[in-house]
């Protein structure tokens, strides 16, 4: 691994773990609930994230360039929720990622979907380009509408991503998740998925890191919470301090009580 690539990966990591805040949903979902005004959503959360995953459009319009948070730039897209989701292309060049001072680029792969081959080619081309410039690639194992999120499927997708040269893989938590991690020779992060009750989302994060995930790349379970700042602090407590879901819920409760006192 080149020095530059290793350095960029290390920027994303604090104490060997990662809390990546995902706010890239609009690239195929449009104005997702909670992200209608990206600047308003993201700004208060920045102090508590280790890195921020988003598209160049939201980065350029909605994030102050003076902030120091490492950026993971979503560079695949070209589809919408109205069409076949796997039909993605690479939307943003590595040169643009470097101009934007990104610490990594992110691309989705759709294993088992209609455009599996094209999405794996997108990943491979980005890895080739990334090696040239020292830019790590985060592969996102997107789940096609028909795919079961079980360890067999997610293990297959994560392993293929690692074999093609991804530096990091983002996937979903599932039963027997440790098997997914064991079969993937690069660090694994989990997405939160659809909004869950806070305790369930914290339990998901706890289970994932207990079973070997390096951290979370979480979006909706943070920014759709009634208390997004409290929720990201609670997620940090799980990922960085090894707190259980119940302990982290007290972090969230404390944040809520402090907010109420200020009212």
Which residues ranging from 57 to 96 are in contact with ligand 5RP (CB under 6 A)? none
> Which of 146, 261 has the CB closer to ligand 5RP?
146
> Site for ligand 5RP (CB under 6 A): which residue of 111, 191, 205, 245?
191
Instruction: Measure Cα distances from 126 to 22, 85, 135, 142, 226 in Å.
Output: 20, 19, 9, 17, 37
Give Cβ neighbours of residue 160 (< 8 Å, ≥ 6 apart): 109, 111, 120
140 binds ligand 5RP per the rule CB under 6 A = yes
Partner residues linked to 17 by β-bridges: 14
Are residues 72 and 12 in contact, defined by beta-carbon separation less than 8 angstroms? yes
Q: Which residue stretch of 109-117, 126-134, 180-188, 216-224 sits at the interface with ligand 5RP (rule: CB under 6 A)?
A: 216-224
> Which of 9, 221 has the CB closer to ligand 5RP?
221
217 binds ligand 5RP per the rule CB under 6 A = yes
In 3-state terms, the chain is what percent helix, strand and coil (to 5)? 45, 15, 40
140: part of which helix (H) or strand (E)? strand 137-141
DSSP-derived 3-state class of residue 236:
helix
Count of residues touching ligand 5RP (by CB under 6 A): 15
> Site for ligand 5RP (CB under 6 A): which residue of 192, 215, 228, 230?
192
* Least Å from the CB of residue 27 to ligand 5RP: 8
Output DSSP code: residue 45. Answer: G
The set of catalytic residues is 170
Indicate the length of the chain as a whole number: 263
> Site for ligand 5RP (CB under 6 A): which residue of 5, 9, 19, 22?
22
Binding site for ligand 5RP (CB under 6 A): 22, 24-25, 53, 108, 140, 142, 191-193, 217-221
């Amino acid at each position: 691994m080149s020095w530059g690539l290793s350095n960029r990966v290390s920027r994303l990591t604090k104490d060997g773990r990662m809390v990546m805040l995902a706010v890239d949903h609009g690239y195929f979902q449009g104005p997702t609930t909670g992200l209608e005004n990206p600047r308003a959503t993201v700004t208060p959360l920045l102090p508590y994230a280790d890195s921020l995953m988003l598209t160049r459009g939201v980065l350029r319009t909605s994030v102050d360039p003076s902030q120091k948070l490492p950026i993971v730039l979503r560079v695949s897209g070209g589809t919408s929720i109205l069409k076949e989701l796997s039909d993605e292309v690479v939307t943003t060049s590595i040169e643009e990622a470097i101009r934007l001072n990104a610490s990594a680029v992110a691309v989705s792969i759709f294993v088992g979907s209609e455009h599996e081959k094209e999405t794996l080619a997108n990943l491979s081309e980005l890895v080739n380009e990334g090696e040239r410039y020292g830019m790590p690639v985060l592969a996102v194992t997107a789940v096609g509408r028909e795919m079961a999120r079980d360890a067999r499927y997610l293990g297959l997708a994560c392993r293929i991503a690692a074999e093609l040269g991804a530096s990091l893989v983002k996937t979903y938590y599932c039963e027997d998740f440790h098997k997914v991690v064991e079969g993937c020779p690069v660090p694994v992060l989990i997405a939160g998925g659809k909004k869950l009750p806070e305790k369930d989302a914290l339990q998901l994060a706890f289970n994932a890191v207990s079973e070997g995930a390096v951290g979370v790349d979480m979006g909706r379970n943070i920014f759709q919470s009634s208390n997004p700042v409290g929720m990201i602090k609670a997620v940090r407590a799980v990922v960085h301090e090894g707190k259980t879901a119940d302990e982290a819920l007290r972090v969230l409760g404390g944040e809520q009580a402090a907010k109420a006192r200020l009212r």
